[in-house]
Amino acid sequence: MFTLARDEPGYPSAVIDALKGKAPEVLYCLGNRDLLNRTGVGFCGSRKSSQKGLETAQDCAFQVSEAGFNVISGNAAGVDFEAHKAALVSGGTTILVLPEGINHFRVKRAFNDVWDWERVLIVSQFEPDSAWKSFRAMERNQLIIALSKAMIVIEAGETGGTLNAGMATLKIGRPLFVALYENMINQAPGNDRLLQLGGQRLTKSRATGKAKLTTLFEEASKAYAPVSKSNQGQLGFL
């Protein structure tokens, strides 16, 4: 394990730019530290996402990795797991951001055939023995957003962490891409709300059957835009 204090060289500048004084004072890490400053795309979605949602996460993560971007997500079942697994299967890199202390981390058995510490980084902003708490999961989402140049929401409920993360993304000023597909209102009512608030539509190409990510890649390749005071006050988070 290694640590990075907020005032140390190597601490990701993107996190300070996004979170300002609320950036974690210390990051506890395992794995390839170079990934902290590699351009990444964040993924967020329910651990109980539909099969269509899981397939969308896999597709997007494969494309993100193949385009040379780092995949960033949490460590839950569902969307988080599928995004990380797709990144590793495709030969890409990934960051797992924990909602608990790093001493609780164990590599899931389902990763055994693709796990590669040269292509993985585990990050926690909490003391190493800190237990999982719901408020820590919300705080963890802020770090995922801050590390990412753009965020993808797969399926958000009417309430909960995924919806909160999408709204926080808009507030911080990162581009937000929200999956849009048939029966989305029934499966992910929060997606429609995020689209109404300013999220960009993430749809599938009829020709290829894959998610259309050209605009996302363009956005993720841009320099970080400063967080405006108007954005900071719009959504009531942080």
Supply the CATH number for residue 78's domain.
3.40.50.450
Q: Is the pLDDT of residue 223 over 70?
A: no
Total domain count, the chain: 1
Burial 90-116 (b: 16+ CB within 10 A, else e): bebbbbbbbbbbbebbeeeeeeeebee
Residue pLDDT, tens place only, 178-205 = 998 776 667 788 999 999 999 999 999 9
151-180: pLDDT as tens digits? 999 999 888 889 999 999 999 999 999 998
User: How many whole angstroms separate alpha carbon 219 and alpha carbon 38?
Assistant: 15
State yes or no: pLDDT of 231 exceeds 60. Answer: no
Angstrom distance (rounded) from CA 211 to CA 19: 30
DSSP structure string for 89-141: HTT--EEEE-SS-GGG----GGGTTT--GGGEEEEESS-TTPPP-HHHHHHHH
Query: Domain span at residue 78?
Result: 2-234
Q: pTM score > 0.95 for this model?
A: no
